[in-house]
Amino acid sequence: MFPEFEVVPAVDMQDGEVVQLVQGERGTEKSYGEPVEAARRWVDAGAKTLHLVDLDGAFEGDRKNAPAVDAVLDAVDVPLQLGGGIRTVEDARDLLDRGVDRVILGTAAVENPDIVAELAEDYPDGVMVSLDAKDGEVVVSGWTEGTGLDPAEAAARYEELGAAAILFTDVDVEGQLEGVHLDTTSRVVDAVDIPVVASGGVASLADIRALRDAGAAATVVGTALYEGRFTLEAALDA
């Protein structure tokens, strides 16, 4: 997984469309078209992995964008990591068996850490735990509820349980195109030996290089790509 640093385009879905939110807040979304079209665009531009999120699932626990996910699975031939609304072992197993390479567990992993260990037994490379931090605290349920957990300490715990990777999102800068904050990201990277994928705030090629130099294995980029701040080709070169 991530043998070299990767830039991973985000395909966040709400009501069957690709959207980007500001700080994860509903009502701030801007639409960028249809998921399969976006997925093919990024793969054609050189993406080696795609990051899919069912935002309706993240907020409501109901994976309303499952048909769009299936369509993307059929349309592209690169590794896919998927999060949003995956609440049970059965949900995760179904997705992994259908061709999703990594399921991203956020709320489910916080509420029931044993789900990570159970899935890791059969899918050792298939579980990515999502730690989303706001004001230095892990938040869940679509970034609406605090947990009291420290992101670095939580990352180490999930590594022990068998997580193959950590997705760390800095909600404080997510979607704002104002640059990355490295302090907490660096703490999470230093806390574990498994890959850490950084997300949130990327606005420039310099941000991408900064995350790489901080030790992240990859970065998920959404708004900056959709808004044309730079091309994926330029980001991969960086």
Please give the pLDDT value at position 142. Answer: 63
Place of tokens 């995760």: 92
110/205 Cα distance (integer angstroms): 33
pLDDT at 78: 98
Q: How does residue 190 score in pLDDT terms, banded at 50, 70 and 90?
A: very high
Looking at the structure, give the CATH architecture of the domain made up of residues 6-237: Alpha-Beta Barrel (3.20)
Categorize the per-residue pLDDT at 28 as very low, low, confident or very high, splitting at 50, 70 and 90: confident
pLDDT at 216: 98
Average pLDDT over residues 118-140: 92
pLDDT tens-digit map of 89-121? 999 999 999 999 999 998 899 899 999 999 999
The vertex-170 CA angle with 29 and 216, nearest 5°, equals 120
Predicted model pTM: 0.92
According to the model, what pLDDT value does residue 40 have? Answer: 98
Assign 175 a pLDDT band (cuts: 50, 70, 90).
low
Active site members: 12, 132
> What is the tens place of the pLDDT at every residue in 35-50?
999 999 999 999 999 9
Name the nearest CA neighbour of 214 among 181, 186, 233: 186
Question: Residue 184 and residue 48: Cα distance in Å, rounded?
Answer: 26
Tokens of 113: 């850490």
Residue 27: both structure tokens together: 């009502």
DSSP string, the chain: --SS-EEEEEEEEETTEEEEEETTEEEEEEE---HHHHHHHHHHTT-S-EEEEEHHHHHHS--TTHHHHHHHHHH--S-EEEESS--SHHHHHHHHHHT-SEEEESHHHHH-THHHHHHHHH-TT-EEEEEEEETTEEEETTTTEE----HHHHHHHHHHHT-SEEEEEETTTTTS-S----HHHHHHHHH-SS-EEEES---SHHHHHHHHHTT-SEEEE-HHHHTTSS-HHHHHH-
Q: At what angle do helices 151-161 and 183-191 cross, to 10 degrees?
A: 30
pLDDT at 173 over 70: no
Q: Give me the residue spans of the domains in the chain.
A: 6-237
How far, in Å, CA of 129 to CA of 121, rounded?
Answer: 15
> Which pLDDT belongs to residue 143?
62
Q: What is the model's pLDDT at position 26?
A: 73
pLDDT attached to residue 107: 85
